[in-house]
Amino acid sequence: MNKYLSDSHTKHRLMYHIHMLVQLRPNISVSMAAQLFNGGSANVILAEFPELEEFLCGDSFWSDGYFAETVGKCDKEIIKKYVQNQ
The predicted pLDDT at position 39 comes to 87
86 residues of the chain, pLDDT tens digit each: 445 444 555 554 445 677 788 888 889 999 999 999 888 888 898 899 888 887 776 677 777 788 888 877 778 788 888 878 87
The predicted pLDDT at position 16 comes to 64
Report yes or no: 44 and 12 within 8 Å, Cβ to Cβ: no
Q: What are phi and psi of 85, to 5 degrees?
A: -95, 10
Of 31, 14, 25, 10, the C-alpha closest to 83 is 10
What is the reported pTM? 0.63
- The domain limits of the chain are 5-84
